Amino acid sequence: MQSSATEKTAGNTPHPTRRAFLKTGGAILAPTVLPASVFGRDGATAPGERIVMGMIGVGGQGSYHVRALSGNQDAHIAAVCDVDSERLARAAQTVESAYAGRTKDDTYRGCDRYGDFREMIARTDIDAVLVAAPDHWHAEMAIAAMKAGKDCYIEKPLSLTVAQGRRVCEAARRYRCVLQVGSHERSRSNARFACELVRSGRIGKLHTIRVNMPVGGDPKGIPPQPVMPVPETLDYDMWLGPAPRAPYTSKRCHFSFRYIMDYSGGEMTDRGAHVMDIAQLGNDTDDTGPVEVEGKGSRPANGLFNTFTKYAFRFRYANGVEMMGSSVGARGIRFEGTDGWIFVHIHGGNLEAEPVSLLKEKLGPNDVHLGRSPGHHQDFLHAIRTRGVPFAPPEVGHRTATLCHLANISMLVGKTFDWDPIAERVTNCPEADRLLRRPPRPPWQV
């Protein structure tokens, strides 16, 4: 099924693909119910009908996706891509080990390896890609993949800036691609049930949302780091990509990139993208945002890490609801209404409520029903098959990421400002409005 594995490039002969089944002349077909005849024994998807995937960024969170999808009967990982050849080799081995003994197709000769994502997305046999590279690469890789006709799963946050996020949404619409944002907390049944209770009026009139995001990992400021030789296993210039040129030092890359503003937004865009995503769902504001933003915080002053580690922020919405954010407390989100409250723990999805009886409520036919996900990956694969809308489509991911960026921007400029969620601009603070976009390092803007 797959061509033989190579290290940097692969001359791949096109294989039979599902793309003709899903699309005709670039036009998306109506939702399709697959007949039982396309499935293999015991309900497993037949090899020819599995969604062929390429994985971009296979360390950290990317390695989790590799493990999960290599065990998924509805997908087939044909290729992996990473700028670190050691991580690349481990990911390919994970895939090949998962398929050993399971793959009966004699033409399968391994998982292809790429150091340049552009070579991988040029393959005509790949239906979809998963982008789990560092945040500063998310938008550019996703847009390039969609231009190449690939459906896309993109890790949260959707983008590094508000302007990039809007471009991703426009690309998904223009190229008619399915795009799932990796906000997997949205797929948890408990979180969806909590939001159904809130939107069905079970806590009375919602007036306040409190989000707690204690900083995890290793966020402490570290002193300026020495310039180090670039490891032979790392294509550092490709790792930097659209980010400003900077000397290599080990703590700049891989996991700790999230504490550096050039590549991420700290806890705000890391777990904050999970917590505030549930806030948007419960507030019924998935397609909009606040009208006023206020934030105060502190961050390390003279070291490599420069994202905010202490913060308090406030969003005011047009519906009168206020969202209050803090860097202390149990990680999660609390919806407060006139008749009670519900707290959703992030991660895990455990619920607390007052009154406790809220958690035993039964929803009636006239209440809000948000549906249930079969799992975030499975939801993505189902959306590809049916040309449907996944649980975390691009507009949802963009609006959630925008909250994260606005909180950071407010803390950076030290000002409260008004936000126009339709025009997506700051209306009364030019300094803040300029931070909605960043020029990429040439030639990386797609």
How do residues 210-257 score in pLDDT, each as one tens digit?
999 998 766 667 888 999 999 999 999 999 999 999 999 999 999 999
Strand partners for 402:
none
Helices (H), 200-271: 236-240
The structure's pTM equals 0.88
Sign of CA dihedral 115, 121, 124, 126: positive
Is residue 379 a contact partner of residue 180, using CB atoms and an 8 Å limit? yes
Residue 135 is predicted with a pLDDT of 98
Task: Give, rounded to a whole angstrom, the gap between the first and last alpha carbons of the chain.
Answer: 31
Phi, psi angle pair for 354, to nearest 5°: -140, 115
Positions of the chain with pLDDT under 70 = 1-48, 102-108, 217-220, 446
Please report which helix (H) or strand (E) contains residue 79, including its range: strand 75-81
DSSP E strands: which ranges in 317-384? 322-326, 332-337, 340-345, 351-354
The full set of domain ranges for the chain reads 19-185, 189-369+394-434
SS3 assignment, position 246:
coil
Residue 372 is predicted with a pLDDT of 96
Sign of CA dihedral 402, 407, 413, 416: positive
Residue 1 is predicted with a pLDDT of 33
Residue 349 is predicted with a pLDDT of 86
Phi, psi angle pair for 295, to nearest 5°: -150, 145
Helix axis angle, 394-413 to 272-282, nearest 10°: 120
**According to the CATH classification, is domain 19-185 in 3.50.50.60?**
no
Specify the fold of 189-369+394-434.
Answer: Dihydrodipicolinate Reductase; domain 2 (3.30.360)
Sign of CA dihedral 34, 37, 42, 46: negative
Strand order across the beta sheet in which 151-154 lies: 112-114, 75-81, 51-56, 128-131, 151-154, 179-181
